[in-house]
Structure 1
Amino acid sequence: SALTCYCGGSRENPYCERNVFNCTVPEGVCYAMTEVLPISKNILTQRGCFRKNRLVPYNRPFVCEPVNKSNHQVICCKTDFCNHPEAMEAPTLPTTTASIQTNQDQLSTTLIVLLSVGGFLLMAMLVLVAVFYKKQHSKRNDPLVESQNSSLPDTNMQDLLDDKDFSTTGSGSGLPLLVHRTIARQIQLQEVIGKGRYGEVFRGKWRGEDVAVKKFVTRDERSWAREAEIYQTIMLRHENILGFIAADNKDVGTWTELWLISEYHENGSLFDYLGETRVDVGAMLKLCSSIASGLAHLHNEIVGTLGKPPIAHCDLKSKNILVKKNGECAIADLGLAVRHDSSTDTIDIPPNNRVGTKRYMAPEILDDTLNMLHFDSFKRADIYSLGLVLWEIGRRCSIGGQNLDYQLPYYNMVPDDPTIEQMRVVVCEKMFRPQKEATWHKYDTMERMWKLMNECWYESGCARLTALRVKKTIAKIEDEEGVKNI
């Protein structure tokens, strides 16, 4: 029988309707959760329903188990309104009393040790200061020694990111924390270049170069932390993945600004670019090939000491893809990305309440049949979204004088902001897909691209191509059409 639970708390719950204080699930549990945010230390509570697919294993789900040394705790129950504040108190976070006593004992021991060696350390420091002063004095008189006015070398952004002394791995996963903070403090914000549910994107200046600064609203702290974490994955850097530079949080009066700093691409998103620009066959294939290449890199696992885990994007769409000066694309916005640890066969799912864009959701997400225990399921959902993006680009190709307006997928089947139910009816029940344009059959390139799109958005995820296969197929079309990009 259906279970009805109480909905509420200080933390926003996307599965509860606004001003409605209950939720009902056919099978599942009620829950109460307490969480402390990592930076602001604010304590939030949330109450609601977990569907059966969130309960793994069903009889003793991990999500309901107490977690030691965690910043959140969850309690579950299985009767109507059992999680109401009058029936159940919110879970408390692990007490710090024991750790405080332990710290006090450790402090006493440490003080004894410090006092016993304090004289020796003081003498050593005095000697070091004297040596340092002497060396600095000699450098001032040496015309070959250049002055250092900052903690960063006098170089441009690209050189800094490519410098193995400043890259944490030499493979482009990011920069040390001190460098993050130094760069952030040196940026001058210019104009707003984009807005979204997360906040705003600014163009900024760093040593005369343009950078993009994504500002998150404080309540979306978890999304900011997650995206920064994913961008700093070892071996992630790739020419078709947005170049991450730094992340920092800045106190400005009564609130904290959360910054994510990346490379700046003046052409903007693929959505904006296609809205203003028609592309020829070569440019179309270059856009499509670079997106497939970036997605293949995300999906691919690099094995080794400094290996990269496979990553699924989980929100691939034209607004989350940027167009570079050279006509290639860079995949951005990794806030919903999911990682797979092959050594433990575990899936790292982001701990935030954001969901992907409904228009681009794969059938198995819309009808709630996605196997969340199988990482390939997330990659296959990405391929469905990729097929829709390829269709958007194909519509703007000027082959044979074609001059079609830019449109989003399913533009003639659902409203501008469709609900999940509206998308489910169109995609799952009616099994509709974006339509083939009337002139495409006349041109071999467009016919082959149409075939590729269809192989990306099959109803069954298992039947869809891999990102690497899409990349190789487009490369073959480029070769045979004589428009291979050099």
Structure 2
Amino acid sequence: MSNNSQSQSVMIISVVIGSLCGCLVVVIIVVVLLVARFRRRSASLNLNVEIPVTINYSAPGMDLTMTGSGAGLPMLEQTSIARQTTLIEQIGCGRYGNVWKGRWMEQYVAVKVFASKDEQSWAREVEIYQTAMLRHTNILGFIAADNNDNGAWTQLWLVTDYCEFGSLFDFLTQNAIDGKTMLKLVESASAGLAHLHLAVQGLQGKPAIAHRDIKSRNYLVKKDCSCCLGDFGLAVSHDVLSNRLTIPQTTKVGTIRYMAPEILDESMNYGSFEAYKQADIYSLALVIWEITSRCSLTGDIEDYRQPYEDMVEADPSFEEMAQVVSKKQVRPLIPDNWQQDKLICRVSQIIEECWSNSPSARLSALRIKKSLKQMMNNS
């Protein structure tokens, strides 16, 4: 073959290879543009949002019936949900802001709206809700968190499951209950706290968490008349391996009416996580007392009363509660007729053990849950 022929062949091969490379580059660019366009369109249509589902998972020694709370959805999907949520009506007013009934997609949700000045409380509550393995049927289901800026001010949103019966306080105010409902309420209330207090070891483990503001207003009542626990703005978490406490940076404290005697007399060891759990148990005892006092098994059902309602002012001071609870060691009245029914009598014994003046004498949340579960199975 002559040199000219060889040169022509090399030139032709080079041209072909160059053309193929050019076509390949064009194809890659087109594919990249199409993918980017599809992603933008998917985001605007919210095609990637995962609808919260109920998952049942069990492990040895644990009851982890899960709902929408826990680690939550990816942040992009959370903001998509919040921006697609329409507020319908205000259904509550709390320490940090208002609670609204809203609609997202085809379901009702609850939207807790924080003012920008309460950003620390909002951030802490979101952090707790996104804790790995927090999901449980008796923990309020977390859906999304986002901020809503309307130009004049910024609102911080926390979107959760909607519980149509409202808070336990509202439910008890409006309803007398039978023995079966009473047991379901007290067992589920203790089960939520037991799961919160539980530490789960492992890479995807869960720290132990103390609530620090247990009260009937912070439990929500679901359609099946079971409770779920919410409002984690004051929660303390404990890393068991490092023995490190994570305490929210806020000047706010729990609800004075429900404060344990060791908090009121200022003897509590704030460096001990066990002390926080024991204080929660005292508060839970008051909630169980509230529930039991509205049960028809006690005989004559009186109107709903808050704990210590006949002993302190409607909005008691710290000093007033300390005088009654810590110095005089008075507790809400357990009437004599509570001893006439075996079920109510056993529940009242649990109450008295849990509001003991000695923190170490109180039952654990897990022990309470197991005792009440056994009573449910035997009733």
Shared fold, TM over 0.5: yes
Structure 2 partner of 1:264:
162
Question: Structure 1 residues 438, 253: closer, same or farther in 2, change over 3 A?
Answer: same
Distance in 1 (CA, whole Å) between partners of 2:44 and 2:179 is: 50
Distance in 1 (CA, whole Å) between partners of 2:25 and 2:167 is: 54
Q: How far off is 1:172 after superposition?
A: 4.1
Query: Identity of counterpart residues, as a percentage?
Result: 49
Structure 2 partner of 1:158:
52
Q: How far off is 1:349 after superposition?
A: 0.5
Structure 2 partner of 1:193:
91
Q: In the alignment, residue 371 of structure 1 is paired with which amino acid?
A: N
Question: Structure 1 residues 449, 134: closer, same or farther in 2, change over 3 A?
Answer: closer
Distance in 2 (CA, whole Å) between partners of 1:399 and 1:126 is: 79
Structure 2 partner of 1:408:
306
Q: How far off is 1:401 after superposition?
A: 4.2
Structure 1 partner of 2:29:
129
Select between 471-480 and 264-273 the one with higher mean Cα deviation. Answer: 471-480
Q: Does 1:339 align with 2:237?
A: yes
Contact 2:190 2:365 in 1 (8 A): yes
Q: Does 1:202 align with 2:103?
A: no
Contact 1:171 1:234 in 2 (8 A): no
Structure 2 partner of 1:329:
227
Q: Does 1:211 align with 2:87?
A: no
Contact 1:162 1:172 in 2 (8 A): no
> Which structure is richer in relative contact order (CA contacts within 8 A, separation 6 or more)?
2
Q: How far off is 1:428 after superposition?
A: 0.8
Structure 2 partner of 1:112:
none
Distance in 1 (CA, whole Å) between partners of 2:117 and 2:49 is: 36
Structure 2 partner of 1:463:
361
Distance in 1 (CA, whole Å) between partners of 2:90 and 2:138 is: 24
Contact 2:70 2:131 in 1 (8 A): no
| SS of match in other structure, 1:275 | helix
Q: In the alignment, residue 356 of structure 1 is paired with which amino acid?
A: G
Distance in 2 (CA, whole Å) between partners of 1:307 and 1:403 is: 44
Q: Does 1:242 align with 2:136?
A: no
Equivalent residue for 1:280, pick from 172, 178, 191: 178
Q: How far off is 1:476 after superposition?
A: 2.0
Q: In the alignment, residue 235 of structure 2 is paired with which amino acid?
A: A
Distance in 1 (CA, whole Å) between partners of 2:28 and 2:262 is: 65
| SS of match in other structure, 2:89 | strand
Q: How far off is 1:452 after superposition?
A: 0.4
Distance in 1 (CA, whole Å) between partners of 2:55 and 2:87 is: 24
Distance in 1 (CA, whole Å) between partners of 2:236 and 2:43 is: 42
Contact 1:173 1:232 in 2 (8 A): yes
Structure 2 partner of 1:453:
351
What is the correspondence of 1:38-49 to structure 2 with a 5 Å cutoff?
A: none
Q: In the alignment, residue 423 of structure 1 is paired with which amino acid?
A: M
Q: How far off is 1:158 after superposition?
A: 3.0
Question: Structure 1 residues 216, 135: closer, same or farther in 2, change over 3 A?
Answer: closer
Equivalent residue for 1:370, pick from 265, 268, 275: 268
Contact 2:87 2:102 in 1 (8 A): yes
Distance in 2 (CA, whole Å) between partners of 1:348 and 1:124 is: 55
Question: Structure 1 residues 220, 148: closer, same or farther in 2, change over 3 A?
Answer: closer
Distance in 2 (CA, whole Å) between partners of 1:433 and 1:125 is: 79
Q: In the alignment, residue 242 of structure 1 is paired with which amino acid?
A: L
Contact 1:152 1:179 in 2 (8 A): no
Q: How far off is 1:126 after superposition?
A: 5.9
Q: Does 1:419 align with 2:332?
A: no
Distance in 2 (CA, whole Å) between partners of 1:323 and 1:171 is: 16
| SS of match in other structure, 1:439 | helix
Q: In the alignment, residue 298 of structure 1 is paired with which amino acid?
A: L
Structure 2 partner of 1:72:
none
Q: In the alignment, residue 392 of structure 1 is paired with which amino acid?
A: E
Give the TM-score normalised by structure 2: 0.86
Question: Structure 1 residues 136, 429: closer, same or farther in 2, change over 3 A?
Answer: closer
Distance in 2 (CA, whole Å) between partners of 1:392 and 1:267 is: 17
Q: Which runs of 5+ in 1 are unaligned?
A: 1-122, 140-146, 164-169
Asked which structure has the greater CA Rg, the reply is 2
Contact 1:198 1:216 in 2 (8 A): yes
Q: How far off is 1:402 after superposition?
A: 2.7
Q: How far off is 1:438 after superposition?
A: 3.2
Q: Does 1:473 align with 2:371?
A: yes
Distance in 1 (CA, whole Å) between partners of 2:24 and 2:55 is: 38
